[in-house]
Amino acid sequence: MKIKILEKNTNKLLDRLEVIFILESDAETPKRLEVKSKIAALINYDENLVIIKGIHQETGIKRSKGIAHAYKSVENLKYIEPEFLIKRNSPPPPKEE
């Protein structure tokens, strides 16, 4: 999996970094949590403060385009992002037996 950052914009009003990226992989589209950790490493942010808004597969090509938001604090992240996106970007809870 290779990730190339196309654009980084600082949104001062919402106090976040908005990242547009291209993702190339040989197999299927990678899992959201894998992409989240790679993006966090590329932009030097804590993985818990990064939200992947969406990953969209391009037809006929093994390439996807995506959008991510990186926040400076957990409070801003929880205040701005919808609950379903926060849940979607969190690891699944462990299964109880």
In a domain, 14, yes or no: yes
In a domain, 95, yes or no: no
In a domain, 94, yes or no: no
pLDDT at residue 96 tops 80 = no
In a domain, 55, yes or no: yes
pTM (2 d.p.): 0.87
For 26-77, what is each residue's pLDDT tens digit? 877 788 999 999 999 999 999 999 999 999 988 888 889 999 999 999 999 9
In a domain, 33, yes or no: yes
Whole-angstrom CA distances from 13 to 18, 36, 80 are: 12, 23, 11
Q: Which domain holds residue 42?
A: 2-88
15: left (phi over 0), alpha (psi -120 to 50) or beta: left
CATH of residue 70's domain is 3.30.70.330
What is the total count of domains within the chain?
A: 1
Q: Are 49 and 78 in contact (CB under 8 A)?
A: no
